[in-house]
Chain A
Amino acid sequence: MPVATIPSRAAAPLITLLLSILFLVLPVLTARAMDIQSVTSPKGITAWLVEDYSVPIVAIRFVFGGGSTQDPVGKEGLANLMTGLFDEGAGPLDSEGFQIKLDDAGAEMGFDESRDGIYGSMRMLAEQRDQAFELLRLAVNEPRFDQLPIDRIRSQILSGIIAGENDPDTVAQNKWARALYGDHPYSRSDQGTKESIATITPDDLKALHKAVFARGGLHVAVVGAIDPETLKKKLDMVFGDLPQNQALRPVADIDPKLAQHVEVDYDLPQTSLQLAFPGVKRKAADFFPAVLMNEILGGGTFTSRLFQEVREKRGLAYSVNSSLINQDHASALIVSTGTRSDRAAETLGIVRDVVKQLAEQGPTEAELAATKKYLTGAYAINNLDSSSSIAATLVELQLDDLGIDYMQRRAGYINAVTLDQVKAAAKKLLSAEPTIMVIGPKLAGAGKG
């Protein structure tokens, strides 16, 4: 019984049936703001803390800037392999010893990488936090990178790479990244290739660990049953002995290459469509106008223009949405949908009409007002629904350098946006000729669709 439950309207996978509710937090929905403290340890490690004793657990999330873009050419997949190894042996403990201790400590540890960062997180029972933090200290400072676990994790990753070789979505995403980003590190696969991961040695892993795991690139957030004084000690214990400076290779900024047509021919019952438009940098003056514009175009509600035109009025798709993607060195606005193959050309035409109309005329005053209300209210529900997601949100705020009081200020930024600003953002982003990818049979009467 693979489909336990089917949500009716989410554009996302099955996991969306877990509704987002928040627990510890409340900004926007009330006048109160979440109480975030900035805590700095004697050795100079700073963390944002939300102290809360409602549930006897502690969640920590941290990031070191510099992710898979730091993989050397020919060693693609290095950062990804490294994140699979932090709970596979550290300090005096080998792989099995480490995992038994972790289980005994009642803690869950996870590491993952993005293009731009190496993330770590841990959830622990408050009453066993000493044991848990000690294991985190070992993982962060003294990962062993033993040959046996390296070979095991590498061969699991290899299975994943092979599994994707004929999978249309995997093939398409690789082709898409190459089309948009050319030879830039953003075009490379996080997992690496069969050839590249075969060459990775323990020395490569140690070198990457040394270059990235330094206090200079670190951001930390902690939520749960811990007081500031105790946290300071733990911060020094876990991170205080790391070197001061990272040694990152520079990564260039890049604009995705537009006005291309990418086809991934497969005989599929449903054709996937993806369109890339220019994005807007996080720090740009028109960031919030663009956010509001994107929400009106195809954001998270059931009232967006794309949802209404493509799904509600015409029944062309189950899922259709747009999103603003912001990485450290590139920004884009991406529209995606999927429709039966014999109506794919028609659907693409509707999407392009909706985009064109918004570009030329902008939204209405009423749409803008409703979207402002939605975006100010939904932030907490979407971003702060558990200790772990609060910690994750706080780390992202630090990465974007938005300030500890950002949540109080955010509604002000949104409400200050004018209709003219949103119209300007729509014109700027949506007037561009997009790069279009079609995954499925060739479009009937194809060409530009």
Chain B
Amino acid sequence: MTFRAEWLRATLLATSLAFTITGPVLAESAPDAFKVTDFLLDNGMEVVVIPDHRAPIVTHMVWYKIGSADEPPGKSGIAHFFEHLMFKATTHHAAGEFDRAISDIGGSNNAFTSYDYTAFHETVAPSALELMMSFEADRMRNLILTDDVIKTERDVILEERRSRIDNNPEAVLDEEVDATLWQNQPYRIPVIGWMQEMQQLNRTDATAFYDKYYRPNNAVLIVAGDVEPDTVKALAEKTYGKVARGPDLPPRIRPVEPEQNTKRTVTLADARVSVPSFSTQWVVPSYHSGKPGEAEALDLLAEILGGGNRSRLYQALVVQQGIASSAGAFFQGTMLDDTNFTIYGAPRGDAKLADVEAAVDAEVARIVRDGVTPSELEKAKDRYVRSMIFARDKQDSMANIYGSTLATGGNVQDVQQWPDRIRKVTTDEVKAVAARYLVLARSTTGYLLPQQQAGN
């Protein structure tokens, strides 16, 4: 859990780097060297270029504004399944040809699917950029799907589900907690899909999905690395630019949450579990769905409450009271719709899970009641600024954050102005979001318990 939170924070921070000079610590960076350019192709495809000339490497990513939360009812997993199918044959290239072309130049490639987007990426030398674009532009429209291909790859995603979810009690519980936290919104459905629906996905579903969403006007191209915007533009027009614009897609208006009025609990007892743990989640605004400043305040709240070894939860439960082996909090800000805020903990020694939960709740109550101190807030902001500088060391983080921001309704300026907005958050604003959202009477708690505690 902790690891994921750190990763999310790192990617969010990564974005902001370099573009906005937030203080003397960033003064060394040369804004022009990292100047981000964005433009639109005639067919509606958005393009963002993030030049970085420190190494002759380029990251090429195509983000489609389509994720699992956009799937039709009963077809859960189709977004992720389709992502797999994009690696099959096209009218111009046999199956595996793209992979071999990348291997031949020592490049790397992969793809991933989330609730709000699906992305395909390659890392190669700049001289191969046009080749990557031509392969990606080709598979945007020319995929050949046969029943054989569908059947074999469907078996692969079923195995993927077994290894990620079904073999792992923690993942099974997380899935059920999501289905309980979200009462209406499609984030209640797992990205990978429900097993019985995945088993039924077929060629008709895949073709419909492809034809509707895999269009240049539903895609964002991110090119980061040793390239110039003019070159990228010329190459993109030559490749992606030749793909016909698709019909306009309707706005992504999804079912939204009703008012939540209950405290819900979800319990899983499993023979594989020896140490119990819990997490409590709330529905909160994201950077896209919140009012100005809310998500920034929630980011800082998560950092102060449970963001690491200096956080309140770690200090109180792990260090001072000595009742927990872990305790923390995190907030996932980059979502198209509302998102979740999570606190968690696990006991150590003779402490009981109930003791840990009570102590975590007490820290939440304290921050809701008394807010945060000015020095805590400043330290949290400093940590963000520091992480931004560290993040500049990895080009892929920047490509990821621009891609995920643009695919969830944001724009280049949102990314660039983010550090300034973090700097402006006040202690009152942090206290206000804590009081508004961290209400136990409308939360969902998941308990992972050893088998012998079942039936309590």
Contacts and interface: CB of A to CB of B under 8 A. Distances in A.
Given A18-B396, A21-B394, A55-B392, A6 B163 contact: no
A186 B443 CA distance: 46
A315 B310 CA distance: 46
Interface string A148-184: 0000100110111011111110000000000000000
B14 to A, nearest CB: 10
A156 B318 contact: yes
Specify which of B3, B175, B390 lies most central, judged by the most chain A CB atoms within 10 Å of its CB.
Answer: B390
B393 A163 contact: no
Given A374-B104, A381-B108, A338 B159 contact: yes
Contacts of A159: 275, 325, 346-349
A125 B396 CA distance: 20
A26 B275 contact: no
Contacts of B144: none
Interface residues of A, number: 91
Interface string B81-114: 0011001000000011001100111111111111
Interface stretch (B244-252, B259-267, B381-389): B381-389
B162 interface: yes
A375 to B, nearest CB: 8
B113 A6 contact: yes
Contact of B383 (A20, A22, A103): A103
A1 B115 contact: yes
A318 B349 CA distance: 38
B425 interface: no
A323 interface: no
Given A314-B152, A374-B104, A381 B123 contact: yes
Interface in B304-346: 309-310, 318-319, 322, 325-326, 332, 339-340, 346
Contact of B310 (A22, A103, A123): A103
A339 B161 CA distance: 11
Contacts of A15: 3, 7
Nearest to B451: A166
B57 interface: yes
Interface in A162-221: 162-168
A192 to B, nearest CB: 16
A302 interface: yes
Contacts of B25: 56, 125, 127
B151 A315 contact: yes
Contacts of A381: 57, 106-108, 123
Interface string A16-36: 111111111110111000000
A156 B110 contact: no
A18 to B, nearest CB: 6
26 contacts: A2-B175, A2-B178, A3-B164, A3-B171, A4-B4, A5-B114, A6-B83, A6-B164, A6-B192, A7-B111, A8-B113, A18-B394, A20-B108, A23-B54, A26-B55, A55-B389, A125-B389, A159-B325, A166-B271, A166-B273, A167-B272, A167-B274, A316-B159, A319-B163, A373-B105, A375-B106
Interface of B: 3-4, 7-8, 11, 25, 28-29, 52, 54-57, 59, 80, 83-84, 87, 95-96, 99-100, 103-115, 121, 123, 125, 151-160, 162-164, 166-167, 171, 174-175, 178, 187, 190-192, 224-225, 271-275, 309-310, 318-319, 322, 325-326, 332, 339-340, 346-349, 379, 382-383, 386, 389-390, 392-397, 399-400, 450
Given A23-B394, A303-B103, 18 more contacts: A1-B115, A3-B164, A8-B83, A22-B395, A29-B56, A52-B54, A123-B390, A152-B318, A164-B274, A167-B274, A270-B163, A301-B103, A339-B159, A370-B100, A373-B104, A378-B107, A381-B107, A386-B393
Q: 9 tightest A-B contacts by CB?
A: A377-B106, A315-B155, A2-B174, A159-B325, A270-B162, A318-B160, A315-B152, A21-B395, A163-B275
